Amino acid sequence: MGLFNSVTSDSSADTEEDESSETTQATIEGEYDPTQPKRINGKEWWIERIDEVSNEVETYAGEWPRAMIENAAKKPQQPVWVGCSERTGREFGVKFSRAFRHIAYLGSTGTGKTTAIYNSVTQLMMGGHGVAIVDPKGDDIYDLLRRVPKWRWDDVVYVDLGADYYSLEDEETGEDVPYQIGFNILDTYHEPGESGFDEEIEWIVADLIELLAAGEYWGPRMDRIAKNMIRGMARHEEEFTIIEIYYALLEEENRQQYADLIGDSIDDDDIMFLEGFTRRIAEELSDDELDPLLGRLKDWVENPITRKIIAMRGAEVTLGQIVNEQKILIVNNDLPKEAKIMTANAVVSGIWTAVTSRKDPSEQQMMELAGMDDVGSEYAPFFLAIDECHSVLTDGDEIETMLMEARSKKLGLMLSTQVLRSLPDDAADAIISNCNTILSLTPNHPEEAREIANRFGGMDTEDLQRTPDYHAQTQLNSEDDPFLAKLIPPYPPRHTIEEAYELIITSLENYGSPVQSGEEILDEMHFDAGGAISSGDAEAGASDDSDEQVDVTSDPAEQALYEAAYTVQIKQDAIGEFVESKAVKDEWRRRAGELGFSSEISNVIEQAPDEYLQRQRRDGDSVMKVTPEGLEYAGLAQDTGSSASGGGDEHRWVLTEAYRAFTKLGMFVELPTQEGEEDPDGIADLPIDPMAAENIREVHAREEQLAEEYPYLAELTDGLNISIEAETSTLEKPMQTLTNLRKAIDEHKLCVFACKDGSAKHGRFDYWPRRGEGIIYDTTGRGANRTINYDRMTFAADVDEGDNRTFYNKVETLAVASDTYALRPRSEANLVWREESQEVVMSDEDGTEHARFESHEAAANPSKSDVPAYSVYDASDQEYTVRASGEKLVYGSREELEDDWMVVRAPFIPENEFDRMPTPEDFLFVVFPDDDTKEYTEPMICEQGETRPLLPTNTAWDTKEKADTKESADDSTNMEAETKDADEQAQAPPQQEPSEEEDEDDGVSFAWSGR
């Protein structure tokens, strides 16, 4: 037995007290006598004992709070006890049913967050519930193991990928073999064909893409390739691992063999739709074209810790089993940053997938009545605790979705963080708004204190920041008044450290597998490092039909063909239908001239695969239409009717909507392949471009012509071409939004931020434009409390009362010389750049100052002596040299250097970044509505709290334009008149009547029918 025997009690802990009824004052006895237990209202609250591990005096929960926690063994659905009121001494807790509305533990380091969350987890373990805890530090993980009730040892799944010293005896050889517990990220809990399998696959895809896309380059092509590979391997009957994506793509021979493996599974209804693009990867893409994805995966393969994660196969337990069998998952996530995030994401997404796959009880009954054998899992409660969640949670949308939907699936989240501002804005807002119970333990930052104070109904922020350690200002329900609480001291260990080790070994025996050596990893893969398929794998020789590959033209010419066909379809309101080949050829020639490639259009059309471009002759004319596969090839989203908030590639969806909208306005739209960071997502050029003139007189003439022929475009753009930026996730990264604006201004273009609809996930159609405006304008508060001052553009994260700004951090590191970069000591705190009068200060968010610069310009161009430290890499010796305070330090690897130091991200100082300061006329936010948004059915400009249509639905045209409209509409309906009724013909929008001499298309249509 450990330090304490179990104590049970039938005290008032069995019921939850109503704080509103408090009238008495708490009394604390023995407060200054360390030899005596501390009592509250006569009951033992905490005691001090020597811990056998630390050999120091530690404070533990006394008899009263221990009894409260242990009573869960008798009453599993009792409240989750948290502490007692500082004023009355009465115990309080979160009702069990309200725990599924989530608990947030907020406060700075050392104030008691980990103690509080561990006490909650201890009670849930004693109540027999399923619970998972992810601890990014690992400091207290062994204390938690010492608290696990003996009767639940067989339920414990202990994951510690950083430890290589736990061994079990091999039954055959008698030798000790290292063991660990891990998960194959591509494994699914559901079998193919089972309810929830498809959803689980897409969660895996989304999470891995988010990790992969964190690299230096990630474009639409890499996105498509990675998704195809992940879906194929996750769905295949063979067991693949993430490391095999790398080796499958590494060599041309491997790519062909993998394509054949997928081809061998063509009888699978879902895999058959993956084969075409998989074959394209194998047959058409070069090593150079795949290099961005290979480079990203290479980092994971070569890092020993991440390699453990991505090479894990044959796991003895799945996260679905852990959830549905109510096990205890304890994750010691004390790993390097990327491995830490990867592990946490795998655990969180796996748990979420298992929970969301469970059917509503009513739906289960319907499925039973329909005669289905598999109706899904029961709704057993499960709890997920993440300590210091700011260090591992990176996707604001996913966190918000979980917080909003978890309650209905009986998943309770318990999240602790010391730096709320380090989370994505979405996540921080969601935690404040959606966690029913907030425990505030001395917030670090005044802005965070203000947000929490607002959540508590406007209490004094200074009171919040003066909260004593191991106390919390709290509010049990969002409707209740806040009060000061004394938190339950740490629940004491029940077992010795030797017994904790025994528990780990028990867990490894039940759920572990031998740690694979590098040679074993390669031997078990379908592809080895040399490119050959491994012996014993599925037969996958080279295809006999490989010589029949279609000889298509170069990517730019072919892509322009599909874009041209799609543009004509848009202009003729004929998406998905055949259009005249002549109109497509004319549009292609315009694109070919601008893009600078010279090919005969007839050759491009002739060599285009039928699966991308269909051709026919109708009524003596040649017609064609681009297929969904052709759109995919061109980087455009298929028109499936799905909304942006419904999942899938939101970035591409928004870009395609923008392509349609600005094409309807008469602009020439391109979605260039991004070759560098300075390229926009899209370009929309005016049909008459004043800036293309050679002299001032011609500029004015073109401006007049544009205003006369395209008055709406002239007013909308002020005579500027447009740079389109799809803002589907970058609005969570303020610096990127400002960089996109800077790029457009540098190119003398109007910046259009194309946004998704925020109605479904955020309750506001204009949620994303408001987020963007909050980055540009002076803004206070968050979420519903956000106030934007449209009279003041700051381009900064914060502005204090003295008008000093806190700047956003750039992605680029701060250079002090060629290939020499500034460093700061490693810290959990974020880097902050702020103004103090005319100076710029570089510090940690906890106030630790590192450098001070006399001006904005000095901060942008520092010398070596201006920064706390700097590093230089010596390629010949393969060493990093760090100079700090006159001392020279040498590191043999980047990992060693990063144990002690962190790179300094440069500040985004507007005066340094913009050639001129932007004005409101330099940008527009346009929102493309979801299909099920009732209020809006067409793209809307959202500007300073007001909304107006992008398309001129009621513009009056002169007689000539109306005549052109009718003539064009009649020509259009002749092609497929049998499919259109008279009303549709009368409503047909204006379209282009091609001419060899000039383009007479006025470019404006009257209806948004992009979907």
- Asked if 685 and 748 touch (Cβ cutoff 8 Å), the reply is no
Query: Alpha-carbon distance 4 to 48, whole Å?
Result: 12
Q: Which residues contact 243 (CB under 8 A, 6 or more apart)?
A: 297, 300, 301, 307, 310, 311, 521, 525
pLDDT one-digit tens code per residue, 688-713: 888 887 788 888 888 899 999 889 99
- Average pLDDT score over residue span 783-788: 76
DSSP code at position 507? H
- Secondary structure (3-state) at 604: helix
Q: Please, where are the H alpha helices in 640-797?
A: 650-664, 696-709, 711-717, 734-746, 759-762, 767-776
- Secondary structure (3-state) at 750: strand
pLDDT one-digit tens code per residue, 716-753: 999 999 999 988 765 557 888 898 999 999 889 999 99
> Around 911, how many Cα atoms within 13 Å sit in the side-chain half-sphere?
10
Query: Alpha-carbon distance 317 to 355, whole Å?
Result: 16
CA distance to 340, 387, 788, per residue, from 350 (Å): 15, 18, 38
Reading the block at residue 263, the tokens are 């081809």
CA distance to 185, 205, 207, 958, per residue, from 346 (Å): 6, 11, 8, 61
Strands (E), 757-838: 777-780, 787-793, 798-799, 805-813, 815-817, 820-825, 831-836
- Secondary structure (3-state) at 144: helix
- Asked if 651 and 726 touch (Cβ cutoff 8 Å), the reply is yes
- According to the CATH classification, is domain 557-569+576-635 in 1.10.10.10? yes
Reading the block at residue 851, the tokens are 């450098």
pLDDT one-digit tens code per residue, 612-647: 889 888 887 788 999 888 888 887 764 433 333 333
- Average pLDDT score over residue span 990-998: 37
Q: What size, in residues, is the chain?
A: 1011
Angle formed by the axes of helices 581-595 and 555-571, nearest 10° = 130
Q: Please indicate whether residue 999 or residue 865 has the higher confidence score (pLDDT).
A: 865
Quickly state the pLDDT bin for 374 (edges 50, 70, 90).
low
pLDDT for 478? 59
pLDDT for 378? 62
pLDDT for 602? 67
Quickly state the pLDDT bin for 999 (edges 50, 70, 90).
very low
pLDDT one-digit tens code per residue, 189-244: 778 877 778 877 887 888 788 778 765 556 778 888 989 999 999 888 888 888 99
CA distance to 62, 68, 85, 470, 688, per residue, from 441 (Å): 21, 22, 14, 7, 61
Cα 342–Cα 344–Cα 346 angle in degrees, nearest 5: 70
- Average pLDDT score over residue span 462-476: 81
pLDDT for 868? 92
Query: Alpha-carbon distance 93 to 80, whole Å?
Result: 5
CA distance to 530, 711, 974, per residue, from 967 (Å): 64, 22, 11
CA-based nearest residue to 899, from 889, 907, 909, 912: 889
- Secondary structure (3-state) at 925: strand
Q: Which residues contact 411 (CB under 8 A, 6 or more apart)?
A: 100, 351, 352, 355, 381, 382, 383, 384, 402
Tell me phi and psi for residue 658, to 5 degrees.
-65, -40
CA distance to 8, 770, 965, per residue, from 236 (Å): 52, 43, 53
Q: How far is CA 140 from the centre of its chain?
A: 29
Quickly state the pLDDT bin for 593 (edges 50, 70, 90).
low
Per-residue pLDDT for 568 more than 50?
A: yes
CA distance to 232, 639, 981, 986, 990, per residue, from 570 (Å): 33, 12, 20, 18, 11
Sign of the Cα pseudo-torsion (260, 262, 268, 269, in order): negative
Per-residue pLDDT for 887 more than 70?
A: yes
Q: Please indicate whether residue 242 or residue 459 has the higher confidence score (pLDDT).
A: 242
CA-based nearest residue to 990, from 971, 964, 1009: 964
638, exposed or middle or buried, with CB in 10 Å at 0-12, 13-18, 19+?
middle
- Average pLDDT score over residue span 106-126: 89
Q: Which amino acid is at 165?
A: Y
Query: Alpha-carbon distance 474 to 960, whole Å?
Result: 70
CB-CB neighbours of 479 under 10 Å? 8
pLDDT for 852? 94
In the chain, domain spans: 184-314, 557-569+576-635, 798-913, 956-1011
Query: Alpha-carbon distance 437 to 235, whole Å?
Result: 40
Sign of the Cα pseudo-torsion (850, 851, 857, 860, in order): negative
- Secondary structure (3-state) at 591: helix
DSSP code at position 413? E
Query: Alpha-carbon distance 128 to 125, whole Å?
Result: 5
Query: If residue 197 lies in a helix (H) or strand (E), which one and from where to where?
Result: helix 197-212
pLDDT one-digit tens code per residue, 8-44: 334 444 444 343 333 334 444 444 445 578 888 888 8
The least confident of 164-173, 292-301, 592-601 is 592-601
- Asked if 417 and 389 touch (Cβ cutoff 8 Å), the reply is yes
> Around 85, how many Cα atoms within 13 Å sit in the side-chain half-sphere?
21
Angle formed by the axes of helices 220-235 and 243-250, nearest 10° = 120
Q: How far is CA 678 from the centre of its chain?
A: 23
Per-residue pLDDT for 1001 more than 60?
A: no
Reading the block at residue 564, the tokens are 């041209």
